[in-house]
Amino acid sequence: MKTPSQIFKVFFISVVVLFSSCSKDDSKSDENASCQETKITMLVNGESQSFHAYGRGIDIRSDGYELSLNFGREEQNPYQEQSIVLHLPYKTTGQNIIEQFIYSQYKDNTLFRGDFLEGELQSNVITNTKNCFRMTFSGKLSDANQEVIITEGKISYTYEEPFSE
């Protein structure tokens, strides 16, 4: 027959093991909790637009790793193409950390291509993990012929496969 102290020890060890395993699972779920369904939306010159995620990658550079993200609009009309390319430090979050934000559109037989860092870009990278990326942004860019204003920009991109580390 087991003594009350032996029963208490078994109970105590069981509780410790249970809570230890939960905290490990919680850390994984915390990392995924900031991930949301993939969705890229913005207003471009007041027109609501949605984009699709076309790819991602990590490049090695002297000061760490660079995350590259590619988005585009699937249009049936090749004369209405749009794309976005982002470059920023991998796993870094915060205000205005985007190193390059290239926006291109071919609309009404006119090509517009520009890096928003040469114009005005306000951004907030909320999540930048091996599993997903999330940010908000707005900005204005002009070239010699036209101006593009983007407002209410939101990117939520959950990767099909996490980056290996």
Residues 36-66: tens digit of each pLDDT = 999 999 999 999 999 999 999 999 988 899 9
Question: What is the number of domains present in the chain?
Answer: 2
CB proximity list for 146: less than 8 A, separation 6 or greater:
110, 112
**Do 10 and 81 fall within a single domain?**
no
Question: Model pTM?
Answer: 0.76
SS3 28: helix
**Do 16 and 67 fall within a single domain?**
no
Asked if residue 69 lies in contact with residue 157, where contact means CB atoms within 8 angstroms, the answer is yes
Q: Please report the pLDDT score of residue 8 as a whole number.
A: 43
**Do 12 and 72 fall within a single domain?**
no
**Do 101 and 142 fall within a single domain?**
yes
**Do 11 and 83 fall within a single domain?**
no
Q: Indicate whether 69 pLDDT > 80.
A: yes
Q: Please report the pLDDT score of residue 33 as a whole number.
A: 63
Q: Please report the pLDDT score of residue 34 as a whole number.
A: 75
pLDDT tens column, 9-34: 434 444 333 344 443 444 444 555 67
Containing domain of residue 3, as a range?
Answer: 1-33
Positive or negative: CA dihedral 22, 28, 33, 38: negative
For the chain, the average pLDDT equals 81
